[in-house]
Amino acid sequence: MAIIKQQDLIDSVADALQYISYYHPLDFIQALEKAYHKEQNTGAKDAIAQILINSRMSAHGKRPICQDTGIVTCFVKIGMDVKWDKTDMTVQQMVDEGTRRAYMNPDNPLRASIVADPAGARKNTKDNTPSVVHIDLVEGGEVEVMIAAKGGGSENKTKMAMLNPSDSIADWVVNTLPSMGAGWCPPGMLGIGIGGTAEKAGVLAKESLMEPVDIQELIDRGPQNAEEELRLEIFERVNKLGIGAQGLGGLTTVVDVKINSVPTHAASKPVVMIPNCAATRHVHFHLDGSGPADLTPPKLEEWPEITWEVGENVRRVNVDGLTKEDISEWKTGETVLLSGTILTGRDAAHKRISDMLAAGEELPVDFTNKFIYYVGPVDAIGDEAVGPAGPTTATRMDKFSDMMLSKTGVLGSIGKSERGQATVENIKKHKSVYLMAVGGAAYLVSKAIKKAKVVAFPELGMEAIYEFEVEDMPVTVAVDTNGESAHVTGPAIWKAKIEELDAELKK
């Protein structure tokens, strides 16, 4: 009988969450490198380059890959022969204590994003607990742990369907994926759970994302069962959609497709699809009573030597003093390097602004001719102006776009993913622009932020309004003043190009 110390699980969880905050799984990095060299769309290739550079920087600096350091999901498989050294804590409490220590580590503080009372006050718990823990009793005398930190942008794109038994799962995936937009930060992985009941399919999908990237090995040896055939079909068809990195259009939308399935009712076919983003973070370890897990750091030389260079069509601008006439010259797809002062604001700040305007109150910040950056940064350490500060999903702010553009004088916005059609029309109407920063490159982006201070709503924590002083912050014009959206034109162009390439190969 193995005796497992509670402290070993707590320490291992804390170490694992720190580890995955700055180390990508190497199999994922290797898959991204292949996608980088394969990519033909310049915008998508640049986005992948920034993700790879950011990954190497995070591994070297031991700072988070993404500012959204996620909600913790932990699968704990406990051997039937295991005995704990103490009985004063549940497994949930042990995992939560490890999570608490990891997220409050002063050497690398992680962003606390968990809110209690989700249907009401939504008050931040301040330590990123509770985590989501799935416990299984299995044979043996070990404790097996798979732990991940899942960002909200990708988690929010989860889709579920109760298909008819005769319905095609691949058709459902291919029809559904374009509706998810780019908020899940492709290229990433798709986890698909099939069977059981609705809630079981969701757990199966999430657990599948803990597996390594191995689609190329499957392609090389060929499928051996229906599930593997389905993986390959979905992988091929999804990449032919042309969505591409960050939704800008391109050859690689997913680097792998994972499937877990269990038996289900004869009348049912529950299916859940959960995407993993470009900041995929997970690790797997065992405890056998000999001490906490030993997580061996990867070697930095195992990261590809990728560089990102400013192209010829780059526009350098000082945002201080910009006018609508100035931004009317910017065109969709153009790279812009921003310098000067920008403001931040995301969900909670926009709601607060909306309430104040409705009540006729004066806003604490003047947004006139300013850019607002949708971000909730990680706390700074040492001489950092701010911690990792990548963009959050812009579509969540769409409901506030008309208010911001018509009542605050804001010049433009910066975020990740596409904007809804109504927001695109508002941007066109007000001669504004929407700029896209690369999701999954938060540490890289933070290096362009030279000064940061909270200027409004400090009680909102990471959702407070900051003033950033930036220098050469890289962004892409995603919607210009004429209403042309890169997230509409890019995938359409590349889907057609992929079809043309396929047709040429078949001749």
Residues 236 and 368 in one domain: no
Residues 278 and 322 in one domain: no
Residues 477 and 398 in one domain: yes
Q: Judge whether 15 lies within some domain.
A: yes
- What letter represents residue 302's amino acid? E
* Residues paired with residue 124 on neighbouring β-strands, in sequence order: 115
The angle at the Cα of 231, spanning 227 to 236, to the nearest 5 degrees, equals: 150
Both structure tokens of 31: 């898959």
Residues 381 and 437 in one domain: yes
Residues 148 and 280 in one domain: yes
- What letter represents residue 278's amino acid? A
Counts of helices then strands in the chain (DSSP H, E): 15, 19
Residues 185 and 331 in one domain: no
Can you give the residue range of the structural domain that contains 378? 315-490
CA 258/CA 146 separation, integer angstroms: 16
Element (H, E) at 94: helix 91-103
Residues 323 and 266 in one domain: no
Residues 270 and 328 in one domain: no
Residues 6+ apart with CB under 8 A from 244: 39, 41, 44, 186, 187, 250, 251, 252, 253, 490, 491, 494
Give the residue among 9, 12, 17, 24 at the shortest CA–CA distance from 442: 24
Residues 91 and 166 in one domain: yes
Give the residue among 377, 398, 403, 353 at the shortest CA–CA distance from 466: 377
Residues 220 and 324 in one domain: no
CA 22/CA 306 separation, integer angstroms: 18
Give the residue among 224, 136, 230, 165 at the shortest CA–CA distance from 192: 230
pLDDT tens for the 507 residues of the chain, in order: 789 999 999 999 999 999 999 999 999 999 999 999 999 999 999 999 999 999 999 999 999 999 999 999 999 999 999 999 999 999 999 999 999 999 999 999 999 999 999 999 999 999 999 999 999 999 999 999 999 999 999 999 999 999 999 999 999 999 999 999 999 999 999 999 999 999 999 999 999 999 999 999 999 999 999 999 999 999 999 999 999 999 999 999 999 999 999 999 999 999 999 999 998 999 999 999 999 999 999 999 999 988 877 666 689 999 998 999 999 999 999 999 999 999 999 999 999 999 999 999 999 999 999 999 999 999 999 999 999 999 999 999 999 999 999 999 999 999 999 999 999 999 999 999 999 999 988 999 999 999 999 999 999 988 999 999 999 999 999 999 999 999 999 999 999 999 988 887 777
Structural domains in the chain (count):
2
Residues 356 and 483 in one domain: yes
The angle at the Cα of 192, spanning 502 to 270, to the nearest 5 degrees, equals: 115
Both structure tokens of 415: 């975020």
Strands, E assignment, 327-404: 335-344, 371-373
Residues 263 and 323 in one domain: no
- What letter represents residue 269's amino acid? K
